[in-house]
Structure 1
């Protein structure tokens, strides 16, 4: 009986302890949740100051470097052409090489031109008694145009998404003869949430670029678009917007003022369509730009968004490039005719092309000089109303020694040509501790010289306190924004992604979310997943610097964001 009594008491104690532990666990979890939730816009400053106070922050000794005032060498920045895959190999010695935009030379529904090319080669067509073939290389329209304009690698033919790129090739002095105005049909469009689309229709009567720009001017609509230096759809939107503001003069004062107002309310400009799609998934955007062929092949979009076409059509024109032989021109002409056969146009429709056939652009043809000037205007004016303040956070820990450090220095020294004189720049480095190498200041010639000097003097040693470096960068940005509140803050982290000192990502994640500062990451021999996690918090891009096109990638990133 005594044993049973003892057993009952012990059991009761165990139950009480168990429920006490569970309750304590619930309370602790709840408190942890509260702790994380407590980092809000209202109290973020106190949290930031508290974290900053725990970091040993040194001040670097400023030293000027020799700046290079020569314009950037586009050919040098471009990677080896073999970085871009050949999707159809030539089968004969007499052939033409065609650069094609990726929506026609990928996999699955994006493989239309690959199928046409393979069948053309299998048919063994002849020109002047010789069997001929095609070689097709998949490369984005903007990048392909850079190769051709720079002369680094010039194909025999080029089929970009739209005619804008052909016009810019012509304007550069390279011959670009239009062989076919249309290989397969496509249309760019605004992809808008159904609910928001209905609201726009109720208020404005219809949805088009004009109504969207009007709604954006009133902060009623949040839209993202892609880099007009690299993206056909992004370039098309830029020209369509300028045309909306002033049809008679796309580069006149009226158009420029309209663009500045439009751009000041654009929350997000993406380097790539993939980055923009990821941002859209977060629900932060009411709409974005996309080609119809991609939209119709995306079930997640078709169910929740409405597609509204805009701008010039994306009908994949085909150009003969350079001073090619008559034989090569005949091959290109023959291939263009072959692609128009019913079988291949039906295949195109099956893959999502040749839809919205009734759509016709209201915009007149735009020459290459105007297009290049519009791109330049975009670069100069996109941040005019809200300048960028950016802090570079560079990893100088021992694990960066050697090739990673050399590549990081090269990235910064070559990439700084694209930082933009209207912006303000700072530089922070970290290993065991954190150093402010360059306080934030306008990126004039003086600051540029200090930036170059600071980068050239970087040396690798010690541990890795990545998140301490980010905290210091955020403190610099917060202090700068007190003086200049109407700016856009950015952080660029250049690292191998490993962290073994200081704060953790979990500790600072709420702070990053509260301040909503995009953190772009560039990885050198890196733990890319760790860096991508940092960038994904506020929909920023992450770049793998181990590939041979890192300078070109960083140039494009800086061109868009700075």
Structure 2
């Protein structure tokens, strides 16, 4: 009898040890085990507040008119010359697409190299003024948005493709042609070699054969937001043009055809084969580089494909071209002076000279056989392109409901530099991008997490509820980052049990490191098996390494946010995913 207490205690100790072993993060290897560990071991340790907005409070919210917002062009990098007050210098600034004006990469800086060589020559106008050129690196779609809003007035604009010029014409912006093409490029599908070999069986590999394979559920692909990316917009138009039957008759796509059952059926089937859509092509490429097996094919530009093939794991990539050329036209505007126009013409002549075109070839630009054949779809009008973008936005979810949890830092540091105010303004504006029926929730965190909006189908009342919740946010306290993340994951994982075909995203915005609550090690395996794609936004001095690790777990990217750029960033993320 004296030994019973000892045996009893020993048995209890062994049981507790066994339970501890079985419920450590290392034992998480499935959605079910992640859900069980989250609900039984992490959530009970979290002190969760609730400040939900009632229906009555939401009904009383008045949503003011929300003007469109575009980024400040001066927030983008400027290369080459800078503006000058010297009367003997004529300075011209050109907005350039990113793939040829990225000073951070040797294989994406062709136009910067050109402008540096041009500026060194100090060419003169007919009255003796020296020409100096600056290149502003702005993605084509964002450049078009800035110009359409009249927020920037550069001397020139050179997007990757003329499609953006058609959109600007539709916005009533007069353009002055300077050069139809600065450099040769095209849109393509980059394809894994084994997939290309399968397509090649029984005949040549064509864009039509690729599309038939995608529609037959044999290939899953990735592409980016057609409101921003040139190749994405090019592909969207080509897909709709082909769906309307114009690959046979060569006629242009019309707005009326976007409402046809044939076009809608093809597009709906296609969207079901999308593995991932990202705001920009660079996001997509980085995910593919991290995991070469993630996609069987992605939409990109030929020049980027040439440089991607230099990496050993992509050396055997194949490609299939499509769409209209992406040959970087250069245009001026009606606000230009005669001197600025002459300066642009001289710069275009220099950029298209033989030495500069040889430099372009070294960076992957080439006049391919596809470009030489000149058998392209007809250039669509801007009105058709605008309708195509709206068509994509409304139907991109492919019949699936999208669920997104917003996990927002409201710790005391968010008071600095009006960080929280900028986020509040950005969330109000970005709410316009949420498709009706998709679901959005809001959890904030400081000392502890607070649930403010539960996931529910988005409509006018839910938008008002979101506005009311946003108005309540105040910066205070520490940073229980992973407590907030755990609550958001739990909500999304619960939804998956009733809608396994839904699409699940979590947007995590923080301006600092975790200071209390759960740590990364406790939750990383839950993230891995949650089936939730996490988008971290670094909004200040954060633990970049941990945010990169979070993004890598679920094949995402870390987005860099500032109070000046957060509105555009959230708009792009909501536009792409919601």
Match of 1:151 in 2: 150
Equivalent residues in 2 for 1:288-299 (5 A)? Answer: 288-298=298-308, 299=310
Quote the offset at 1:337 in angstroms.
2.4
Asked if the contact 1:58–1:436 (Cα under 8 Å) also holds between the matched residues in 2, the reply is yes
Q: Contact (CA 8 Å) 2:73, 2:146: kept in 1 or not? A: no
Q: Deviations over 1:186-221 (max 9, x none)?
A: 12211111112212323x744444333332333321
Residue 257 of structure 2 is aligned to residue 258 of structure 1: no
Residue number in structure 2 paired with 1:15 = none
Please name the residue that 1:164 is paired with: 163
Mapped pair 1:546 → 2:562 = yes
2:362 is matched with which residue? 350
Match for 1:504 among 519, 522, 534?
519
Tell whether the 8 Å contact from 1:87 to 1:138 is kept in structure 2 after alignment. no
- Displacement of 1:34: 8.8
What is aligned with 1:218? 216
CA distance, structure 2, for counterparts of residue 478 and residue 362 of structure 1: 46
| Greater CA drift, 144-153 or 487-496 | 487-496
For the 8 Å contact 1:100–1:138, the answer to whether it is kept is yes
Gaps of 5+ in 2: 1-16
Offset of 1:323 from its aligned partner? 4.1
In the alignment, does 2:48 pair up with 1:57?
A: yes
1:558 has 2:574 as partner: yes
Match in the other structure for 2:453: 438
1:322-361 equivalent positions in 2, closer than 5 A = 322-359=334-371, 360-361=374-375
CA separation in 2, counterparts of 1:210 and 1:515? 36
Q: CA deviation at 1:236?
A: 1.0
Q: Is the 8 A contact 2:419 2:563 kept in 1?
A: no
Q: 1:395/1:500 Cα in 2 relative to 1: closer, same or farther (>3 Å)?
A: same
Cα 1:90–1:340 change in 2 (3 A) is farther
- Contact kept? 1:59, 1:436, Cα under 8 Å: yes
Q: Within the alignment, does 1:418 sit opposite 2:430 as a pair?
A: no
Work out the CA distance in 1 between the residues paired with 2:193 and 2:168. Answer: 39
Find the residue that maps to 2:194 and give its secondary structure: helix
What is the match of residue 455 of structure 1? 470
Q: Is 1:66 aligned to residue 53 of structure 2?
A: no
Stretch deviating more after TM superposition (527-536 or 397-406): 397-406
**How far apart are 1:392 and its partner, in Å?**
1.0
Distance (Å, rounded) in 2 between the aligned partners of 1:442 and 1:116: 51
How many Å separate the matches in 1 of 2:67 and 2:548?
Answer: 29
Task: Tell me if 1:96 matches 2:92.
Answer: yes
Mind listing any 5+ residue stretches in structure 1 that lack a counterpart? 1-26
Aligned length: 531
> 1:46 — aligned with what?
36
Pick one of 535, 555, 559 that aligns with 2:551: 535
Q: Distance in 1 between matches of 2:205 and 2:543?
A: 40
Does the residue aligned with 1:130 lie in a helix, a strand or coil? Answer: coil
| 1:418-465 Cα distance to aligned partner (Å, 9 max, x none) | 233231111112233332211111121111111111111122333332
Spell out, residue by residue over 1:482-529, the C-alpha distance to the aligned partner (whole angstroms, 9 max, x if none): 343432111111222422333222222222111221111223323151
CA spacing shift, 1:447–1:497, aligned 2, 3 Å? same
Residue 114 (1) aligns with residue 130 (2)? no
Preserved CA contact (<8 Å) 2:72 2:151: no
Distance across 1 between alignment mates of 2:96 and 2:265: 35
TM-score scaled by length of structure 1: 0.87
The aligned runs of 1:181-330 (5 Å cut-off) are: 181-202=180-201, 205-246=203-244, 247=246, 249=253, 251-253=258-260, 254-280=262-288, 281-282=290-291, 283-298=293-308, 299-300=310-311, 302-330=314-342
Moved over 6 A (4+): 31-34
